[in-house]
Amino acid sequence: MTSKAKQSQKLLLFRLSGTRLFGIGTLKIREILPYKPLTKLPHSHHAVVGTTSFRGSAVPVIDMAAAVGYPALTPEELKASSIIITDVQRQETGFLVRGVQKIIETDWKKVKAPPAVLGDKAFITGLLDVEGDIIQLLDVELLLANVYPDSLEAGDVALTDVQSETLRALNILLVDDSRIARKQLCDVLDAKGIPYQVTTNGDEALQVLLGDNEIGQPVDVLVSDIEMPGLDGYELTFDVRDNGVLKQPYIILHTSLNSEMSLSYANQVGANEALTKFDAEELLHAMLRGARQPV
C-alpha cells in the first residue's frame, strides 16, 4: 500500500438533557422517525418505553435519557422527540431522544478518550470538540448491555482439543474502546483458557505490534473494533499492512456495525475478515482460520 484511503466519518448529534450534545456514528443508524405512540411492553426495563413498527417489524424503543441516568421524557417532551432506529450488534433498536440537531463530518483522530475519573459505568466512549462544544459519544453497547443484561451471555462454544490447543498457541491481541465489548471478548477466551493481550485503543495496539510487547513475540491474530478514538480500526489495519518490517498478523475487524459499506471498507484497507458483533463461535472460528492461513 502506498496511500491511505480515508472514509468519511459522520456523527449524528442530539440532546438528551438541557443543551448538552451527544453523538453516535451514522453507520449505526437505519432511520430517524418523528415520535408516534408506542405499544407498551409489560415487565420490561424501566427505560424501554414500548415498541414501534419499522419496515414490518416490531422494534423496541428505549428512552435514551432514562437509560443513562437523566430524567425520562415528559409527555409534553415526547411530542417533539425523535426515534433513532439503529442496527447494532445484530439487532434493531429505537432510541428516543429529546432533539436531533444535525449530522457532522469528523475525523476519529480528533476524538479523545474520556477521562478515567468518569469510571467504568460512564456511558461515554469518546469526547469531541466541535467549535467549542464538547460532544459526548455514547457507548451504545454498554447502554444495551445495561438494558438487556442477558445479551452479555456468550454461551458455550464447542471446540475440539486440537482447535483449543491451536488457539492457545497463538499470540492474540484484542482492541476495543468499549468496556462491554472488551468483556465479551475476554470472557470467550478466558472460558477456553486462551491467552491474549488487550488494549483500549488503536494507538496502544500499534505500540504493542511495533515492539512494546509483554510476551516478546509477534502478534499472530489482531481483533480490532472499527470506531475508536484516535487511531480507528481502519487506520490501524492500514498502518499495519503498510509496514514492510512488521510480521503481519491475521486481522479481524470486529464491529457492532451491520453496514455493508463498513465491512467492504475493512477489506479495502487490508483486513482478512470483518465480523459483526457478537457471535462467539463465529469469532473463534475466524481466529482458527487465522492460525491456518499465513498473511
Residue reference for cell 453523538: 23
- Split at pLDDT 50, 70, 90, the class of 2 is very low
Q: Does any domain span residue 1?
A: no
Examine the pLDDT at 21 and tell me if it is beyond 80: yes
CB count, 10 Å around CB of 63?
24
Domain coverage including residue 190 = 155-292
Mean pLDDT of the 43-49 span:
90
Q: Does any domain span residue 100?
A: yes
Number of domains in the chain: 2
Mean pLDDT of the 180-192 span:
89
> Higher confidence at residue 118 or residue 232?
232
Q: Does any domain span residue 190?
A: yes
Is 88 within 8 Å of 28 (Cβ atoms)? yes
Mean pLDDT of the 169-177 span:
94
User: Do 19 and 145 fall into the same domain?
Assistant: yes
User: Do 133 and 161 fall into the same domain?
Assistant: no
Examine the pLDDT at 119 and tell me if it is beyond 80: no
Distance CA 278, CA 204 (A): 23
Q: Does any domain span residue 4?
A: no
Q: What is the mean pLDDT of the chain?
A: 85
User: Do 129 and 164 fall into the same domain?
Assistant: no
Output the nine-digit C-alpha cell for 111.
Answer: 476524538
- Split at pLDDT 50, 70, 90, the class of 99 is confident
Mean pLDDT of the 93-104 span:
92
Mean pLDDT of the 84-109 span:
88
Mean pLDDT of the 66-89 span:
88
Q: Does any domain span residue 2?
A: no
18 three-state secondary structure = coil
Mean pLDDT of the 215-221 span:
81
Residues in contact with 108: Cβ distance below 8 Å, sequence separation at least 6, in sequence order: 9, 227, 228, 229, 230, 231, 232, 235
Distance CA 2, CA 167 (A): 33
User: Do 144 and 75 fall into the same domain?
Assistant: yes
CB count, 10 Å around CB of 68?
22
Examine the pLDDT at 134 and tell me if it is beyond 60: yes
Residues in contact with 16: Cβ distance below 8 Å, sequence separation at least 6, in sequence order: 22, 64, 65, 68, 70, 97, 98
User: Do 176 and 261 fall into the same domain?
Assistant: yes
For residue 65, give the CATH number of its domain: 2.40.50.180
Give the pLDDT confidence of 220-268 residue by residue, as tens digits.
Answer: 999 999 888 888 899 999 999 999 888 899 999 988 766 566 677 888 8
